[in-house]
């Protein structure tokens, strides 16, 4: 449904799977396993994998916490988008990369569910993209001590949010990792 004409491609977006972000993530091993499987499938189908990496006071550029987890390593030709805001589009080159690759729909995975995942999903829809969240390939940490719901509740709520999001000419959606089928990308 996207509003972006002549952009028929769909990448896998991997958000903030950094040591300092997912060290204490809910169902970390299962989520990283699902994302690793999706990365391998995307690569096999010649579908772009686009990595997003956050930098802030706790995730200082070059530090161990800032590094992408070793279980998931970007390939040399894969784009890494550096960001400082929760929305991966805000103040980054993500939109330019997507445009150059002819992309109109995103398959989204990563962390933190309730922050960068949700913000990027909304940012994609606002900018004219369709955005599908992989329901079992995103995670967050337990922030109940600060008043947040438990991680499983945040994940379920974000899946609900993703499944019901829409805007004129654009749609959100969710899919289980086992149901993702990448089509060869012409980009």
Alpha-carbon distance 55 to 151, whole Å? 23
User: What pLDDT, on a 0 to 100 scale, did the predictor assign at position 1?
Assistant: 63
pLDDT band of residue 3 (cuts 50, 70, 90) is confident
- Backbone φ/ψ region at 147: left (φ over 0), alpha (ψ -120 to 50), beta: left
Structural domains in the chain, CATH included, are: 12-179 (3.40.50.850)
pLDDT tens sequence across 18-57: 999 999 999 999 999 999 999 999 999 999 999 999 999 9
pLDDT, tens only, 57-110: 999 999 999 999 999 999 999 999 999 999 999 999 999 999 999 999 999 999
Tally helices (H) and strands (E) across the chain: 5, 7
pTM comes to: 0.95
* pLDDT, average across residues 115-135: 96
Mean pLDDT over each residue of the chain, to the nearest integer: 95
Residue 55 CA to residue 57 CA, distance in Å, equals: 7
**What's residue 2's pLDDT?**
67
């Amino acid at each position: 449904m996207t509003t972006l004409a002549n952009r028929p491609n769909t990448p896998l977006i991997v958000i903030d799977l950094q040591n300092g972000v997912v060290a204490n993530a809910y169902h970390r091993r299962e989520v990283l396993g699902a994302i690793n499987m999706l990365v391998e499938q995307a690569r096999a189908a010649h579908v772009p994998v686009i990595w997003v990496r956050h930098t802030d006071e706790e995730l200082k550029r070059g530090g161990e916490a800032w590094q992408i987890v070793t279980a998931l390593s970007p390939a040399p030709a894969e784009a890494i988008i550096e960001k400082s805001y929760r929305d991966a589009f805000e103040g980054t080159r993500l939109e330019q990369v997507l445009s150059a690759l002819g992309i109109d729909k995103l398959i989204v995975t990563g962390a933190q569910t309730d922050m960068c995942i949700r913000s990027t999903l909304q940012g994609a829809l606002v900018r004219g993209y369709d955005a599908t969240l992989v329901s079992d390939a995103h995670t967050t940490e337990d922030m109940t001590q600060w008043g947040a719901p438990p991680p499983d509740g945040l994940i379920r709520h974000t899946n609900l949010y993703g499944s019901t999001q829409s805007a004129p000419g654009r749609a959100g959606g969710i899919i289980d990792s086992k149901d993702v089928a990448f089509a060869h990308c012409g980009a």
